[in-house]
Amino acid sequence: MLKVDMDTKMKFLSGFSNKIRVQILECIKDDEKTVSQIVNELNGNQSNISQHLACLKGCGLVVSRQEGKYVYYRVRNQLVRDLLTMIDVVLEDVKKDVECCERHIE
């Protein structure tokens, strides 16, 4: 089993700890998109989306490439896409417990 430093693991998981970041990940899970495309799809604002993309990029979940004046963002690789799918699979199994959880700490 791989041994990962707990602080590093927590930094990585912080990418999933915000609703907008998860929405962004879902938005670009299958196709790369520009910030403008993500903003339009999520009905967000450019500044906020850009800040969250920077966090996701810093956590290693998202990569970008520049083409002319546009920057395209995509989920890093198939492993991250698989992780997003696995989160949905696990959540389906524990959904009722999560919905009833009163110990959720923000």
pLDDT reported for residue 78 = 97
Residue 19, domain member (yes or no): yes
pLDDT at 106: 56
Sequence-ordered strand ranges (E) for the chain: 33-34, 62-67, 70-75
Tally of domains in the chain:
1
Residue 94 lies in a domain: yes
Residue 2 in domain: no
In whole angstroms, how far apart are CA 39 and each of 33, 74, 98, 102? 10, 14, 29, 32
CA–CA gap between residue 106 and residue 92 (Å, rounded) = 22
In a domain, 1, yes or no: no
Residue 5 lies in a domain: no
In whole angstroms, give the CA distance from residue 88 to residue 82: 10
- Per-residue pLDDT in tens (0 to 9) along the chain, 106 residues: 678 889 988 888 888 999 999 999 999 999 999 999 999 999 999 999 999 999 999 999 999 999 999 999 999 999 999 999 999 999 999 988 888 887 766 5
Question: Is 105 contained in some domain?
Answer: no
- Per the structure, the complete domain to which residue 47 belongs is given by 10-100
Q: Please report, for the domain that includes residue 48, its CATH number.
A: 1.10.10.10
